[in-house]
Amino acid sequence: MRVDYPFADEARIRRRPALVIAVPAVRQDFAVLWVMMITSAQTGRWPLDVPISNLALGGLDHSCVVRTSKITAMDARLAVPIGELSEADRVDVRTSLRVALKDTLHE
């Protein structure tokens, strides 16, 4: 999806790619998306980042990672579909997300 992300330190938004992780019922019943950040930042990689292997399938034109440590909820009306992850990338994201949630739930 491409979503409108607000800047924390500025009064503007920026259209950015994101990975939807919400179950369909959340979107249908509440018009809410749970999304993970997709970034092309080459510096400051985070430990649970997952590189996207098939950029064309994802509707992306340059190297990106799914930042599984950054999850947010957004209004579904602010999202536009642009692509999907390969099955291998989905497995890697699920694994990374499980690690992130396990660490969080045990604190």
Q: Which of 85, 77, 40, 92 is nearest to 59 (CA)?
A: 85
- Total-model pTM: 0.84
pLDDT at 6: 66
CATH number for position 88? 2.30.30.110
**Residues paired with 11 in a beta bridge:** none
Domain limits at 23? 2-105
**Mind listing the pLDDT tens digit of every residue in the chain (107 residues)?**
888 876 666 777 778 899 998 778 888 888 888 999 999 887 788 999 999 999 999 999 999 999 998 888 888 888 899 999 999 999 999 999 999 888 666 55
Q: Which of 96, 99, 78 is nearest to 17 (CA)?
A: 78
Find how far residue 92's CA is from the centre of its chain. Answer: 13
**Residues paired with 91 in a beta bridge:** none
Q: In total, how many domains does the chain have?
A: 1
pLDDT at 50: 96
pLDDT at 42: 76
CA angle 15, 101, 46 (to 5 degrees): 55
pLDDT at 101: 84
